[in-house]
Structure 1
């Protein structure tokens, strides 16, 4: 009798330990990691709760010796083909380069508004190789502060 209940207890404990290692369903999805130096097409990432998107398209990718720059468009996706439709809903926009594993950022970037919902982000420099995030924070009247991030590997 004691052996059978111990066996059941062991199986139950094993099942609980497996479910404890699973990713929580409520956790935000991990951002997809991309490698700088890949395709220069626009990469899209989504704001929540508005559902608007940000698109990043490199003008010049950063190197060990030179700063990089990219065009950032904020808006919604075109219903027909998914291309960016920039919107001017943001009261303020901020871009931060962040290295989550080390808990620090890089040098501040320069942000210049060049059109409706379109910004040039320059002076982009990553201080070391590794996994980074390009964090985009915007403030809107409708949703307040929203933040999204594109994970990249340098």
Structure 2
């Protein structure tokens, strides 16, 4: 019995791999963001465009620029509070909070986007008024 306990304890300590965030990765894994449909916040009639500046990457910080345009094709800020998050629907969890920084009228940089494991992710953009969600849009990503 004691030998079995020691063997199980040995397996426990030797079977775990290194964390992907330990900095010892040989290469980063890039993902695909292949959505072709137009994204829009319908309540404010804002068309949403996006440009990955870095990523999407697995095991490293990704950065995306989001632009909002009105029906006249002018850059415009949303009226509500703009936020974003990522969610892995197959696993039932998200990741760290995304930092949203306004760069110019209608232009926002989203940083600190960490895809913590490979698979299907949903990228969500939201508009809120006093904490109450009133519009949302999302698209799938595969890493």
Moved over 6 A (4+): none
Find out whether 1:152 has 2:120 as its counterpart: no
What is the TM-score of this pair, normalised by structure 2? Answer: 0.64
In structure 2, the residue corresponding to 1:89 is in which secondary structure? coil
Match of 1:36 among 31, 37, 49: 31
Residue deviations 1:60-85, cap 9 Å, x none?
1143442110101122365xxxxx63
The answer as to whether partners of 2:59 and 2:117 remain within 8 angstroms in 1 is no
Match of 1:55 among 49, 67, 71: 49
- Structure 1 pair 38/136, CA: closer, same or farther in 2 (3 Å)? closer
- How many corresponding residue pairs? 111
The unaligned stretches of length 5 or more in structure 2 are 1-29
Match of 1:119 among 99, 108, 126: 108
The aligned counterpart of 1:135 is: 124
Q: For residues 43 and 101 of structure 2, what CA distance do their matches in structure 1 show?
A: 25
**Structure 1 position 52, deviation (Å):** 2.2
In structure 2, the residue corresponding to 1:86 is in which secondary structure? coil
* Structure (1 or 2) with the larger CA radius of gyration: 1
In structure 2, the residue corresponding to 1:90 is in which secondary structure? coil
RMSD between superposed Cα atoms in Å: 2.8
Q: For residues 141 and 83 of structure 2, what CA distance do their matches in structure 1 show?
A: 18
- Structure 1 pair 43/124, CA: closer, same or farther in 2 (3 Å)? farther
What is the TM-score of this pair, normalised by structure 1? Answer: 0.60
**Structure 1 position 152, deviation (Å):** 1.1
The aligned counterpart of 1:75 is: 69
In structure 2, the residue corresponding to 1:66 is in which secondary structure? coil
